[in-house]
Amino acid sequence: MLMKYDYLIVGAGLFGATFAYLARKRGKRCLVIDKRSHAGGNIYCENVEGINVHKYGAHIFHTSDKEVWDFVNSIVPFNRYTNCPVAQAPDGKLHNLPFNMNTFYQMWGVKTPAEAQAKLDEQRRDAVERMKEEGITEPRNLEEQALTLIGCDIYEQLIKGYTEKQWGRKCTELPAFIIRRLPVRMTFDNNYFNDSYQGIPIGGYNRLIDGLLDGVEVKLDTDFFADRARWESIADKIVFTGKIDEFYGYRFGKLEYRTVRFETETLDEPNHQGNAVVNYTAADVPYTRIIEHKHFETFGAAVYDNPHTVISREYSTEWTDGMEPFYPVNDERNQAVYEQYRTLASLESSVIFGGRLAEYKYYDMAPIIAQALNHFK
């Protein structure tokens, strides 16, 4: 029987859309379905008062992979946004991130790399000695690990409260391996990423998705599982980017996630916090970050052209059914469950599993694109 499509692509997120684009370029007939009422998956933006609001959390594209950068820029040019988050700490001060000479100056008043290094060494030494006095020779948890890596001041002001909110657990109850390294920069450089390229698509992420799906047949509000037999009979191959445990009817159990709840507000002021990302590192502030969306796409005096602004407070939350599955919890139990699904998936000859939900793995956007590009090499 001649199938109507070469590929049925389940999910119009970044993986599904990139796959569809590349397949179409090669003359393949594709149908993309998505259960949401919009394409784009988690990079989708909603326009509020002329501002692109990152509905599923702030997204900053960054990569050192030139092929990926050239590819996305061939679909839509990217702007010069550079992520330079600041942290509002329990001491009431703002500190630059990632930890760099600006942070050390704000924390201790040190002005040269040598002074900063001496202070860091002293802080680490003090922490290790205090632990030794208590008979601790190896860090037993995240708190002890962080203290030995960076010392007390930065841990207390910039790591402890934030990490506890993120994980919903005390740092003393979290395993040490979560923080393997805490890189410090001995330069006055607030650029969060070390990558060669970063930015936001000019006009917003929807332009990227629209460009990828241009000329591709897309059906929204369409859940694969609502009519599985029909969708399985319509194409030679299925590209599945949904949850792998759902694909197999949860037969080995449900995979767990952490998620983020957003409280989004439109304000009658042009510039609320002067930066796209402000972290709140104090334990008594319930949210982890405030995102001010206009700063991803407007710079300098142009910020004042729009009298409104939109902010989102982010609350890190335990995931339950019906919530957006954002971050896989790759602990031993979940990983063991996932391995069983993966074994089944490896036996499929007409299903391609791709993207973050099907692989139960956190991926940034650039690796997702690279994955789709590699598929066609």
Catalytic residue of the set 81, 185, 256, 257: 185
Residues that bind ligand FAD (CB under 6 A): 10-16, 33-36, 41-43, 57-61, 223-225, 241-242, 260, 326, 355-357, 363-366, 368
Distance CA 59, CA 123 (A): 34
Check if 140 is active-site: no
17 vs 107 by CB, closer to ligand FAD: 17
Separation CA 377–CA 364 (nearest Å): 21
Q: Indicate if 181 belongs to the active site.
A: yes
Catalytic residue among 297, 314, 338, 359, which?
314
**Can you tell me the distance from the alpha carbon of 149 to that of 181, in angstroms, rounded to the nearest whole number?**
7
Of 148 and 316, which has the nearer Cβ to ligand FAD?
Answer: 316
Q: Is 185 assigned a catalytic role? A: yes
Q: From the candidates 258, 315, 324, 327, give the one annotated as an active-site residue.
A: 258
CB of 357 to ligand FAD, least distance (A): 6
- The CB-of-207 to ligand FAD minimum distance in angstroms stands at 16
Catalytic residue among 5, 289, 297, 363: 289
Q: How far is the CB of 272 from ligand FAD (least distance, A)?
A: 20
Residue 228 designated active-site = no
Q: Distance (Å, rounded) from C-alpha 96 to C-alpha 101?
A: 9
Distance from the Cα of residue 40 to its chain's centroid: 14
8 Å CB contact between 168 and 75:
no
| Rg of the Cα atoms in the chain | 23
d(CA 172, CA 332): 19
Task: Return the number of the residue (68 or 146) whose C-beta is nearest ligand FAD.
Answer: 68
Q: Is 272 exposed, middle or buried (0-12, 13-18, 19+ CB in 10 A)?
A: middle
Residues 6+ apart with CB under 8 A from 233: none
Could you tell me the smallest distance in angstroms from the CB atom of residue 354 to ligand FAD? 7
Q: Which is nearer to ligand FAD, 156 or 223 (CB)?
A: 223
| C-alpha count within 13 angstroms, C-beta hemisphere, residue 200 | 25
Catalytic residue among 248, 250, 304, 362: 362
| 194 DSSP assignment | -
Active site residue 169: no
Could you tell me the smallest distance in angstroms from the CB atom of residue 5 to ligand FAD?
15
Q: Where are the alpha helices (DSSP H) in 197-331?
A: 205-213, 228-232, 244-247
Sign of the dihedral defined by the CA atoms of residues 346, 213, 61, 52, in that order: negative
**11/139 with CB nearer ligand FAD:** 11
Catalytic residue positions?
181, 185, 258, 289, 314, 362, 364
